[in-house]
Amino acid sequence: MKIRVRFEEMKFNYETLQEVFDKCEASFFMRGDNNRGWKADFDWIFTNSQNWVKVLEGKYDNQPNKMYNAQHGTASILSTSVGYGTTQSERNAANSARQKCDILSTLAKCQQDYDAGNLPALTGVEEKL
């Protein structure tokens, strides 16, 4: 239901949803390169109406050529991200691709149910748009 509500807030725009996930995937901080090792997950993005907006606004975008190295507790400058954590990057890319497929198929199903009138109006968001 939270996914449906957030997707309503996005005015059922798949491009907006894709941009949120692309920004999350590109953010070092959201992938766990921070002093706590925290990672943004699917639930965090959709928990409330503010998190996905903050992502779109760029709050979690990378600083130019800088990242925090959580393992060493030091700031380091990357000349390029090519080769950085290649094995982990490959795993992240594969996981991201699987998640995108699952998310898009779930949203497509929600959209079909919504279009067919099979979902009750729970939020009233569509009435405010």
- The per-residue pLDDT for range 50-65, each reduced to its tens digit, is 999 999 999 999 977 4
- Count CA atoms closer than 13 A to 16's CA, side-chain side: 14
User: Does the pTM exceed 0.75?
Assistant: no
The values of phi and psi at residue 60, to 5°, are -105, 15
Q: Which residues contact 44 (CB under 8 A, 6 or more apart)?
A: 51
The answer to whether residue 89 scores a pLDDT higher than 70 is no
Per-residue pLDDT, 109: 78
Under a CB-based contact definition with an 8 Å cutoff, are residues 32 and 69 in contact?
no
Q: Give the three-state DSSP class for 89.
A: helix
